[in-house]
Chains A and B, each alone.
Chain A
């Protein structure tokens, strides 16, 4: 209960009670001009500049779990007390002008009935935490539209507005301002005379920005306030050719040796042909010995890959190798210091998922005013584009339409979006992803804690529909093992981590520096993980999970998995073009780790061959098979068959237990059947590597609830 009065009570000037001084956070104290300072008969006295304001009373009462009495004080008294309790940082304290503007905005909107007290209170609270413009906060929470805000700003700043929704730009004029400036300041020339350029701006430019713009334009200009969403669309439209070019060709032209636009290099072709010739010649001269040799080599590869995975898993089992971020640290984060965060969401024929996606992104525990969400759509996907337009999303959502060109892949779309990114950090989420709400904050804290060379933080992936059927349960088992055990162990060992498809958080500038994703690689994530390692950067894991939709239908699953296997081989081929350079860049441990990790794809190819031989032998006892496995090779193969296979089954169980998904342990026991599917997909991907290397096998999403779309 909150009451107000002015009769004689202890005053703020008598001093602030040490036990009460931090009852209300600094942001709220400064925003609402309040300060708790004394307790009388169990009632907390709170100094308030406007003791009659109901919003202030409500906000204070919510934060103090005792009866509260607002006691009127002068602004100076309160500000002085706040400055004593929370010594001001020059850059963080609201200037008198800014405060006047904020109050003016609040009054304008409340008096005109455009927002309710509740909306204002919520926005003021967010302002007290973040210090972001009140109008932007209101728009991000859809309390008012961007058009209303622009109108209000236009009134406040006495600036003209310009509507851009139907605007057809004169490209020559629009491109007078270089793209980096247009992008950074969110400005576009919309008309020009000999003396003056009319410039659409998202917000009034400050003097420094204005000077830079004028210098770039080479002429004076006049600012016209525009709707941010419309302005963003215009900038994209004006510069789309440039973005498309960069997103496709940047890596290929700047780092051709790291691009998968050529699958097998000349040197590799020569090596493979030479090896094939040697094997064939040996096969003709010593047929049995050659086959035994090949089997021995395959068994050895199998053994080493299995041992490596086993070692990683054991290292991680029961430990916590991820960068640890506690709830208390998240609660203690000063949101005024949170960086802008770009979220890239590639979409393809997923119109039905968009409302859910918007809901889940808005559910993230991160100020919406600091989010820069790029919804990356393909030009030919009119349905999704139309759906997003129809939803009239607030301006922290940006519709990005990627022009239709080859290769039409997710990494190309991401590259396109990355050029428009304004966040210091960026992350990829798939349309159906449901990240833990605090994931962005965890990533920010993790980036602040890890070594300087860590430019990527990978969150864990798992599935929300694991109980849908056996396939989804297996998939969840596999992800549990991979993300709960193997990747954390690799991260702790500073080995190159093949990044997961989503929920990898990057330092945006470093990602650009690296040339971003390879649009020709169908597992661009794994490739990028290795590339950043080669450049001396590292990846860390955080203990936060993004739930995805597990493929619930076998054909759809096979398509996705075949792409992954094709991509793994593609990635291996790219990085093994110059093995010694790779060795020099990653060190022996990194080199082995890359090869053993990518070796998984080859092991999946071997599985059906070994299983076939074993089955044939059990049923026929054929002597020829026995001869193929002499002595030690037989022991290795037997160990792999009976011990190795079981260990991998058990590691699946371990992954589920490590994650606390106890319901999945039963299905983990049947995982050898799942490996059969994996091998099928591996062979499909392997064959496709020769027949259609850049083809992106589309995966249908939304099969869990019928809202199917593709990515």
Chain B
């Protein structure tokens, strides 16, 4: 056994690159400014979003699905945390669960815009803090935030309850922490970035790309500054631990509950409206990538080369890293198509992270420009302002999209988009769901009395505000649900089905009833998209049992 060498504190810390154990100089905390920015954008986006969603009926069904799951977390019978499911990254639903504590907030649809507005506001706070660290003057900061916040692409995703701003908010927070770390050398910021990225990872799996690149950047920058291997390793471990932990945990959950450890990747529902993967050649992908940047985030065309130039020519490693991140954001949609990791190729929403990373890059360029920072910030603001009408116009015609065209139409015409079609042929609007929900709310009071495939009827369930009325696939998992579907008379009084051919298991099992032609399963109420049928006592659907089994296996 050898005697340990005693190294006293001063000696031990003499070779450490980062500032540990003490807070180095940094911009003063201004919580009130952050709170004001947060409040301004939360209220602004919620107010505007309420108009978009409730008056103009521009709402993504994915948002309603997540809010329905959130509602089940609190109000199902029994309350079910497992309602968050595996179709979405878990935090995309869990983080909006508090909005569903009060049913009325959800049924009034006020929760829909708020579900994205909060995260968009967090993003703005993150950008504002970055600008403060970049010593951008107050008026310019606010002008830049307003110019960015008014971008139609940002507006659409910040106001309609979509989940994209959830992960983007945490990625921007993580970037902001690394921004602060690079400036102050305070190791605390690496840890905060680690936490932010871990939340981002379970909010949107796309963030993992940025996480990996950030981990590499931390190691590379420390090594460049002369940190020894222990410091590099310890810091990277400190940064990576939260994300690795949450991904490992989620993988184990998938293994235990689904017997498929990586189904969180394969089952992930990134979009419901792509209509399948088209065939793309390399040239197509290149052109589509160019269009994505040009229409959705044109300032990237200036920022990316500027970052790379600053990185190489001026020895600015952080600029280079931001350039790499921006490059990754630009190339990721095409790579996802090339690797066939997505069934929703080149969607316009992919321009959102490109746009935000461009802004982050521009902020860093402003800081690096020192005396010229005001000029850089002003140029960025002008660029953002110019891109507003440009992007709005392109949203109407861009090939790969979700609700961009209806949103742009609502914005320019001020008319409700109920019944309008998206460019990929989907109907816009929620009148059908609202009518069915209202009927159920007024006429059904018995818990678990409506059998339904919640994967297709979530919008109705959500709008009732009473998930406990439904016997769905979350209540007691698929096995008991299939049992009830085989013999509904024994369990429920009604069946709620979707009339569209969209994979509703009950519709497939009882197609006649869904069409209103079943003699036994009489229609109680129907809307263009849904039908509620009564289940008479003694109803026995013998002939459909085998179909149930087959459907169950394929679901």
Instruction: List B contacts of A638 (CB < 8 A).
Output: 81
Contact with A along B229-241 (1 / 0, CB 8 A): 0110111011001
Instruction: List A contacts of B186 (CB < 8 A).
Output: 318
Instruction: List A contacts of B191 (CB < 8 A).
Output: 317, 650, 653-654, 657
Instruction: List B contacts of A646 (CB < 8 A).
Output: 242, 245-246, 249
A631 interface hit (Cβ, 8 Å): yes
**Docked complex Cα distance between A642 and B79 (Å):** 19
- Of A117-125, A184-192, A461-469, A584-592, the one with at least 4 CB within 8 A of chain B: A461-469
A518 interface hit (Cβ, 8 Å): no
A96 interface hit (Cβ, 8 Å): no
Number of residues in A with C-beta < 8 Å to the partner? 43
A618 interface hit (Cβ, 8 Å): yes
A662 in complex: contacting residue of B3, B10, B81, B234, CB < 8 Å: B234
- Of A233-241, A257-265, A542-550, the one with at least 4 CB within 8 A of chain B: A542-550
A310 CB → nearest B CB, Å: 12
Instruction: List B contacts of A533 (CB < 8 A).
Output: none
Q: Residue on A with the closest CB to B235?
A: A662
A665 in complex: contacting residue of B79, B234, B249, CB < 8 Å: B234
B230 in complex: contacting residue of A630, A654, A662, CB < 8 Å: A662
B9 interface hit (Cβ, 8 Å): yes
B6 interface hit (Cβ, 8 Å): yes
Contact with A along B209-236 (1 / 0, CB 8 A): 0000000000000000000001101110
Asked if A436 meets B8 with Cβ closer than 8 Å, knowing A319-B23, A662-B231, A705-B2, the reply is yes
**Docked complex Cα distance between A663 and B5 (Å):** 15
**Docked complex Cα distance between A320 and B231 (Å):** 21
Instruction: List B contacts of A657 (CB < 8 A).
Output: 20, 187-188, 190-191, 234-235, 238
A631 touches B78 (CB 8 A): yes
B241 touches A653 (CB 8 A): yes
B4 interface hit (Cβ, 8 Å): yes
Instruction: List B contacts of A663 (CB < 8 A).
Output: 230, 233-234
Instruction: List A contacts of B3 (CB < 8 A).
Output: 704-705
B256 interface hit (Cβ, 8 Å): yes
**Docked complex Cα distance between A320 and B22 (Å):** 5
A40 CB → nearest B CB, Å: 40
B16 interface hit (Cβ, 8 Å): yes
B81 touches A618 (CB 8 A): no
Q: Residue on A with the closest CB to B234?
A: A662
Q: Residue on A with the closest CB to B231?
A: A662
B237 touches A706 (CB 8 A): no
Q: List A residues 516-572 near B (Cβ within 8 Å).
A: 543-545, 547
A350 interface hit (Cβ, 8 Å): no
Q: Residue on B with the closest CB to A472?
A: B4
Instruction: List B contacts of A705 (CB < 8 A).
Output: 1-4
A78 interface hit (Cβ, 8 Å): no
B84 CB → nearest A CB, Å: 11
B12 touches A660 (CB 8 A): yes
B4 touches A468 (CB 8 A): yes
**Docked complex Cα distance between A630 and B20 (Å):** 44
Instruction: List B contacts of A642 (CB < 8 A).
Output: 249
B79 in complex: contacting residue of A464, A631, A656, CB < 8 Å: A631
A622 CB → nearest B CB, Å: 15
Q: List B residues 15-30 near A (Cβ within 8 Å).
A: 16, 18, 20-23
B477 CB → nearest A CB, Å: 11
Instruction: List A contacts of B485 (CB < 8 A).
Output: none
Q: List A residues 658-689 near B (Cβ within 8 Å).
A: 658-666, 669
A286 interface hit (Cβ, 8 Å): no
B403 interface hit (Cβ, 8 Å): no
Instruction: List A contacts of B13 (CB < 8 A).
Output: 660
B81 touches A650 (CB 8 A): no
Q: Residue on A with the closest CB to B4?
A: A465
A434 interface hit (Cβ, 8 Å): yes
Instruction: List B contacts of A318 (CB < 8 A).
Output: 23, 186-189
Q: List A residues 405-445 near B (Cβ within 8 Å).
A: 434, 436-437
A343 interface hit (Cβ, 8 Å): no
A660 in complex: contacting residue of B16, B189, B233, B245, CB < 8 Å: B16
B195 interface hit (Cβ, 8 Å): yes
Instruction: List A contacts of B16 (CB < 8 A).
Output: 660, 662
A606 CB → nearest B CB, Å: 21
Asked if A467 meets B245 with Cβ closer than 8 Å, knowing A653-B237, A658-B187, the reply is no
Number of interchain pairs (Cβ within 8 Å): 113
A660 touches B20 (CB 8 A): yes
Contact with B along A123-156 (1 / 0, CB 8 A): 0000000000000000000000000000000000
A618 touches B237 (CB 8 A): no
| SS class, residues of chain B in contact with chain A | helix
Asked if A706 meets B1 with Cβ closer than 8 Å, knowing A618-B256, A657-B187, the reply is yes
A434 touches B9 (CB 8 A): no
**Docked complex Cα distance between A336 and B1 (Å):** 44
Contact with B along A308-322 (1 / 0, CB 8 A): 000000000111100
Residue of B16, B194, B237 ringed by the most chain A CB atoms within 10 A: B237
Instruction: List B contacts of A658 (CB < 8 A).
Output: 20-21, 187-188
Q: Residue on A with the closest CB to B250?
A: A642
**Docked complex Cα distance between A664 and B245 (Å):** 17
A338 CB → nearest B CB, Å: 21
B195 touches A650 (CB 8 A): yes
A703 CB → nearest B CB, Å: 8
A456 interface hit (Cβ, 8 Å): no
B461 CB → nearest A CB, Å: 20
**Docked complex Cα distance between A665 and B256 (Å):** 29
Instruction: List B contacts of A635 (CB < 8 A).
Output: 81
A669 touches B256 (CB 8 A): no
Q: Residue on B with the closest CB to A704?
A: B4
Instruction: List B contacts of A467 (CB < 8 A).
Output: 4
A634 interface hit (Cβ, 8 Å): yes
Instruction: List A contacts of B190 (CB < 8 A).
Output: 657
Instruction: List A contacts of B10 (CB < 8 A).
Output: 436
Q: Residue on A with the closest CB to B5?
A: A464
A649 touches B8 (CB 8 A): no
B21 in complex: contacting residue of A320, A436, A634, CB < 8 Å: A320
**Docked complex Cα distance between A248 and B13 (Å):** 43
Residue of B2, B189, B235, B238 ringed by the most chain A CB atoms within 10 A: B238
**Docked complex Cα distance between A492 and B496 (Å):** 60
Q: Residue on B with the closest CB to A545?
A: B9
A232 interface hit (Cβ, 8 Å): no
Instruction: List B contacts of A649 (CB < 8 A).
Output: 241, 245
Q: List A residues 622-663 near B (Cβ within 8 Å).
A: 630-631, 634-635, 638, 642, 646, 649-650, 653-654, 656-663
A662 touches B242 (CB 8 A): no
Instruction: List A contacts of B79 (CB < 8 A).
Output: 631
A484 in complex: contacting residue of B21, B231, B242, CB < 8 Å: B21
**Docked complex Cα distance between A664 and B231 (Å):** 10
**Docked complex Cα distance between A355 and B16 (Å):** 32
**Docked complex Cα distance between A488 and B9 (Å):** 17
Contact with B along A370-399 (1 / 0, CB 8 A): 000000000000000000000000000000
Q: Residue on A with the closest CB to B15?
A: A660
B441 CB → nearest A CB, Å: 23
A665 touches B237 (CB 8 A): yes
**Docked complex Cα distance between A437 and B18 (Å):** 24
Contact with A along B178-189 (1 / 0, CB 8 A): 000000001111
What are 6 residue pairs bridging A and B, where the CB atoms are less than 8 Å apart in the complex? Answer: A317-B191, A320-B22, A630-B78, A659-B21, A662-B234, A665-B235
Q: Which 9 A-B pairs have the closest CB atoms?
A: A662-B234, A318-B188, A660-B20, A320-B22, A705-B3, A665-B234, A465-B4, A665-B237, A662-B231
Q: Which residues of A contact B (CB under 8 A)?
A: 317-320, 434, 436-437, 464-465, 467-468, 484, 543-545, 547, 618, 630-631, 634-635, 638, 642, 646, 649-650, 653-654, 656-666, 669, 704-706
Please name 20 further chain A to chain B contacts, defined as beta carbons within 8 Å, in addition to the given A464-B6, A657-B188, A661-B234, sorted by A numbering. A320-B23, A436-B9, A464-B4, A484-B21, A543-B21, A544-B9, A545-B9, A547-B6, A634-B81, A649-B241, A650-B194, A653-B191, A657-B190, A657-B235, A660-B16, A662-B230, A665-B233, A665-B234, A705-B1, A706-B1
